[in-house]
Amino acid sequence: GQNIDQPTEMTATEGAIVQINCTYQTSGFNGLFWYQQHAGEAPTFLSYNVLDGLEEKGRFSSFLSRSKGYSYLLLKELQMKDSASYLCAVMDSNYQLIWGAGTKLIIKP
Amino acid sequence: DAMVIQNPRYQVTQFGKPVTLSCSQTLNHNVMYWYQQKSSQAPKLLFHYYDKDFNNEADTPDNFQSRRPNTSFCFLDIRSPGLGDAAMYLCATSQRQGDYNEQFFGPGTRLTVL
């Protein structure tokens, strides 16, 4: 079966750095997405990785290792508004998104 | 601004009473999706349309149906809602199918079943 694993919840301090990990097992791979979802709102796109390596976009970076079935989202200089759930999703061989359940990130002052 | 719009944002229905959720998009995207998301769970794909080609996920209950009368609009019909159907329903669009296929989400409709 297809599976996306990510931690259920993480806590970090304002101004610090946090890394949210995602491991996946899917039938085929056509890229990995990270989305941010605030409580009660729709997911919004953060990043896309299809090749191995690090993609940097401002305070957010995303890393992919296809051979390990592994990705992480790195958030720097954390702000209170970064408190949200972060969803990892993999596009499989049928170009369908397989979603993780999300990691709830709690930022403390 | 180009966007995905869902109405209503909050819907309350009674057990067994049919309900229709609507989605419209001004992005002129070919693909539209309906997801169901329950609290602290991953979004679950119910249906997607590539143009007018309808694709039903294998485990989508028969209680759920969908219509896409034109490029801009898509509807989700729940014929006989049960308590287990209470969830957030998300509509999303993408320009095409294929790699680098960013999905744009509407704000969602939160369905409550009494």
pLDDT value of residue B111: 96
Question: Which residue out of B3, B32, B36, B37 would a mutagenesis test of the A interface target, given it has the greatest number of A Cβ atoms within 10 Å?
Answer: B37
Q: Are A62 and A55 in contact (CB under 8 A)?
A: yes
pLDDT value of residue B99: 63
Q: Measuring CA to CA, which residue among B44, B102, B53 is closest to residue B74?
A: B53
Q: What is the mean pLDDT of chain A?
A: 94
Query: Which residues in chain B touch residue A50, judged by CB atoms under 8 angstroms apart?
Result: 99-100
pLDDT digits (tens, 9 = 90+) for A33-65: 999 999 888 899 999 999 999 999 999 999 999
Query: Which residues in chain A touch residue B100, judged by CB atoms under 8 angstroms apart?
Result: 31, 48, 50
The residue assigned the tokens 């001004």 is B26
Q: Are B83 and B15 in contact (CB under 8 A)?
A: yes
Q: In terms of pLDDT, which residue wins out, A93 or A13? A: A13
Sign for the CA dihedral angle at B91, B94, B96, B102 comes to: negative
pLDDT value of residue B23: 96
Q: Are A12 and A73 in contact (CB under 8 A)?
A: no
Q: Measuring CA to CA, which residue among A4, A78, A83 is closest to residue B44?
A: A4
pLDDT at B100 over 90: no
pLDDT digits (tens, 9 = 90+) for B7-22: 899 999 999 999 999 9
pLDDT digits (tens, 9 = 90+) for B31-57: 999 999 998 899 999 998 888 778 878
